[in-house]
Amino acid sequence: MTSEPRRDPLTDGLLTPENSALLVIDYQPTQVQSINSIDRAQLIRNIATTVKLARTFDIPIVLSTVNVATGRNKGTIPALADLLTGVPSLDRTSINAWEDVAFRAAVSATARKKLIIAALWTEACLTFPTLDALREGFEVFPVVDAVGGTSVIAHETAITRVTRAGAQPVSIAQLACELQRDWNRTDTVQAFVDELTEAGIFLKLG
C-alpha cells in the first residue's frame, strides 16, 4: 500500500472535515411540498444522508429556517431535525440567508472557507447565499442531489447560474468519497460504508 501521507487538511484544495462547513437552509414542510424537480421522499433521504455524513466527519453545521417566528411557516422537517439535535436553528425573514446577521455570524464562527450548501429552493434559498458567499471569497459546493426546485428547469437553471459564478456542484457520493479519501482513515470507514449503503449508493450484500 503506497498512499501518500495525508495532506494538510486545512490547506487541502479538496474538501476535508477540517476545512469545510455544511449549511442546511429551509428544509421545512412548505418548501419540501413545493419541490417538483426530484421525488420528495428521495430528496428527504438525500439531505438526511448529507447531514449524517457531516456528523460522521464532525463538520460544523449551520442550520437555518425562514418565517417560523412570524408564524407563517413551520420548522425543519422532523426527519431532518432529529438528526440535527444540538444544532441551533437560526430563523430569518430574509429569503436570502446571507442577508441575515445571525446566519452570517454563525458561518463566520466556523472559520471555514469551503461551504457545502443544501437549501430549498435551489432557485432562491440556495442561489442567493451562494452568489453572495462567492463574492466574499468563499468556495461553495452545492449538493445537487440533496436540493430541489419548483420545477426541473428552475433547479437546473439555478445550478447553471451558480456554477457559472464559480460554485462547485457535488453529489452525495462525491462528497462522501472526498471526505473519506483513504480507507486507511479507519475511524470513519464503517459509518461511511453504512451511510452510503443506506442511501442505496453502495450495494448491500448478504
Distance of CA 95 to the CA centre of its chain: 17
For the purposes of burial, counting CB atoms within 10 Å of the CB of 95, is it exposed (0-12), middle (13-18) or buried (19 or more)? Answer: middle
Pure H helices in 2-126: 29-33, 40-56, 78-81, 101-110
- What is the set of active-site residues? 125
In angstroms, rounded to a whole number, what is the distance separating the alpha carbons of residues 162 and 142?
A: 9
Q: Which phi and psi (to 5°) does residue 119 adopt?
A: -155, 150
In angstroms, rounded to a whole number, what is the distance separating the alpha carbons of residues 7 and 30?
A: 43
